[in-house]
Amino acid sequence: MRLSTTLKFAGDAGALLGRAVDFEEAGVDAIWVTESYGFDSVAVLGAIAARTKRVQVGPGVLNVFSRAPALLAQTAAGLDAASAGRAVLGLGTSGPQVVEGWHGLAYDRPLARTRDVVEICRAVWRREVVVHSGATTRVPLGPQQGIGLAKPLKMLTRPVRDRIPVYLAALGPKNVELTAEVADGWLTFLFAPERMPEVWGKSMDAGLARRPAELGRLDIVAGGVLAIGEDHAALRDLARPMTALYVGGMGARGQNFYHALVSRYGFADAADRIQDFYLTGRRAEAEAAVPDELIDLIHLVGPADHVAGRIEAYRKAGVTTLDVTPQGADPVGDVRTVRALLDAATD
């Protein structure tokens, strides 16, 4: 099992770059940088690539709406060149709140859009002539008003690699099915390993049945907040704010993917309470409403033996890359502990 970590860039570039170097030295194999509607993630990923030597670097994630497919391919190819072939392209559909509320674009046909983007990116990296003829990218070629003839093009520069790994962030059944079919990796979130068969089993099986052999094994990336120590109750509290934010605040009622996911885990009543509190501005109460059982299911917080048990649960669920977000008093030390646990399990 590989080890990755997700970093959030909020403006302190020096601290972020230093933390990236520390995590590489502690044994992580990949570093993801979030974007959402904050700072652009690719710029800081280039800086991380310049400061590190071996870790993979990738956005976690870029949405498939706000950048044209060819631009997404150019961006990934540029990052791959800057990192000497260490780039990974993390993509996702995001949601109406970001796509419509922030970018001002229609949140239309997200699955078809994702498929088109993946196909175009791979064609660009192979330096094939790109024709935008997908379900959501159809552009007629021919005489254009005032500009002559639009001709299909291939990438001007030669990418370092003609195949950059594409990872898709997916939660819903159809999105997970598409991911299993076309992606190199699956980026999960709020993943409950014990619920894998009942929640995603059918979707995974359907997608994998259509998966081309040349893609190889699907890399499943899953994990959560990481904090190791003896005070289990206090460490659970470190995971409450993020859990409450996503379950309660990421979207309106009936339009929150994370609320729907937690409900599928069997926490529908708790998810409703968290959402009620969060959407009425009672964030502390929303955080307090997150059940301990849910935190233990989707995060890695508590004594070392408890965390080791959770890692084994992820392994049994088919997870091949453990992604951690350190929140404890010693983030780098916690990453080293997890690295040691993973190495011991493979000895």
Query: How many angstroms separate the CA atoms of 104 and 91, rounded?
Result: 19
Paired sense of beta strands 148-149 and 166-169, if any = unpaired
Q: pLDDT tens digits, the chain, 347 residues: what are they?
A: 999 999 988 888 899 999 999 999 999 999 999 998 989 999 999 999 999 999 999 999 999 999 999 999 999 999 999 999 999 999 999 988 889 999 999 999 999 999 999 999 999 999 999 988 899 988 766 555 444 456 789 999 999 999 999 999 999 999 999 999 999 999 999 999 999 999 999 999 999 999 999 999 999 999 999 999 999 999 999 999 999 999 999 878 888 999 999 999 999 999 999 999 999 999 999 999 999 999 999 999 999 999 999 999 999 999 999 999 999 999 999 999 999 999 998 76
- Compute the 3-state secondary structure of the chain and give helix, strand, coil in percent, each to the nearest 5: 50, 15, 35
Query: How many angstroms separate the CA atoms of 244 and 80, rounded?
Result: 35
Using the structure block, give the residue that is written with the tokens 């959407």.
279
| CA-closest candidate to residue 168, choices 216, 210, 111, 211 | 111
* Alpha carbon 28 to its chain's center: 16
Query: How many angstroms separate the CA atoms of 322 and 320, rounded?
Result: 7
pLDDT for residue 323: 98
Distance from the first to the final alpha carbon of the chain: 12
224 and 325 Cβ atoms separated by less than 8 Å: yes
Residue type, 129: V
pLDDT for residue 149: 57
pLDDT for residue 143: 54
| CA-closest candidate to residue 61, choices 185, 204, 161, 199 | 185
pLDDT for residue 252: 82
pLDDT for residue 95: 86
- Could you give all domains of the chain from N- to C-terminal order, each with its CATH number? 2-140+151-227+299-346 (3.20.20.30)
The token pair that represents 243 in the structure block: 């859990």
SS3 readout for 204-227:
HHHHHHCCCHHHCCCEEEEEEEEE
Model pTM above 0.75: yes
Q: What number of other Cβ atoms are within 10 A of residue 85's Cβ?
A: 11
